[in-house]
Chain A
Amino acid sequence: MYAIETVNLTKYYGKNRGIIDVNLKVKEGEIFGFIGPNGAGKSTLIRTLLNFIYPTRGGGYILERDIVTDSKAIKEFTGYVPSEIKYYGQVFVKDILDYAKSFKKDSSDEQLRKLIQLLDIDLNKKMAELSLGNKKKVALAQALLGNPSLLILDEPASGLDPLMQKTLFEILMDMKNQGKTIFLSSHNLVEVGNLCDRVAIIKDGRIVDTIDLKAKLSEFGRIIELKGNIPKELIQGFADDIILSEEDHYKFKYRGDIDKFIKAISSYQVEDLSIRKENLEDTFLKYYEGDGE
Chain B
Amino acid sequence: MNIIKFEVRRSIKSSLLWALVCSGIIIFFMSLFPSMENSDIQEIVFTKLDAFPEGLMEAFGLDNMVDFTNIMQYLAYTIQYISMAIGVYALILGINALLSEEVEGTIEFLYAQPVCRNKIVLTKLLSNAYLLFQSIFIIGLFTIAVSIFFKPEDYDLINLIMGIKEVFLGIYLVAYTYFSIGFFLSSILKPKVGTTSISIGIFFFSYIVGVVSRLKEELELLRFLSPFDYVLPMDLVRYGWERKFLVAAIIIMVLTIAASFFIYDKKDMEI
Contacts and interface: CB of A to CB of B under 8 A. Distances in A.
Main secondary structure of the interface of B (DSSP, over half): loop
Among A50, A89, A99, A142, residue most surrounded by chain B Cβ atoms (within 10 Å): A99
Interface string B229-271: 0000000000000000000000000000000000000101101
A142 B116 CA distance: 18
Contacts of A53: 268-269
Interface in A75-118: 75-76, 78-80, 82, 84, 86-91, 95-96, 99-100, 102-104
Given A54-B268, A99-B6, A88 B104 contact: yes
A217 interface: no
Main secondary structure of the interface of A (DSSP, over half): mixed
Nearest to A79: B112
A52 B115 contact: no
A52 B111 contact: yes
A73 interface: yes
B115 to A, nearest CB: 6
A91 B7 CA distance: 11
A100 B113 contact: yes
B268 A90 contact: no
Contact of B114 (A54, A89, A104, A143): A104
A10 B109 CA distance: 24
B3 to A, nearest CB: 9
A96 B104 CA distance: 15
Contact of A88 (B2, B10, B266): B10
Contacts of A100: 109, 113
Interface in B101-147: 104-109, 111-116
Contact of B104 (A72, A73, A78, A86): A86
A103 B2 contact: yes
A78 B114 CA distance: 9
Interface residues of B, number: 20
A132 to B, nearest CB: 14
B116 to A, nearest CB: 4
Contacts of A13: 268
Contacts of A75: 112-115
Interface in B158-208: none
A51 B120 CA distance: 14
Given A53-B268, A91-B10, A72 B114 contact: yes
Contacts of B10: 88, 90-91
Interface in B68-117: 104-109, 111-116
Contacts of B266: 54
B113 A89 contact: no
B271 A71 contact: no
B246 to A, nearest CB: 38
A225 B105 CA distance: 47
Range of interface residues on A (Cβ < 8 Å): 20 to 34
B118 to A, nearest CB: 10
B111 A88 contact: no
A89 B104 contact: yes
Interface in B1-46: 2, 6, 9-10
A86 B114 contact: no
8 contacts: A50-B112, A73-B114, A76-B114, A82-B112, A87-B106, A90-B10, A96-B109, A100-B109
A76 B6 CA distance: 20
A216 interface: no
Given A87-B106, A88-B104, A88-B106, A47 B115 contact: no
Among B2, B107, B112, B114, residue most surrounded by chain A Cβ atoms (within 10 Å): B112
A99 B2 contact: yes
Contact of B2 (A51, A84, A102, A143): A102
Nearest to A43: B271
Contacts of A86: 104-106, 108-109
Given A52-B269, A54-B266, A71 B116 contact: yes
Contacts of A88: 10, 104, 106, 109
Contacts of A47: 269, 271
Contact of B108 (A51, A54, A82): A82
B125 to A, nearest CB: 18
A88 B114 CA distance: 18
Given A80-B112, A82-B112, A143-B112, 13 more contacts: A47-B271, A52-B107, A52-B108, A53-B268, A72-B115, A73-B114, A75-B113, A75-B114, A86-B105, A91-B10, A95-B6, A100-B113, A142-B109
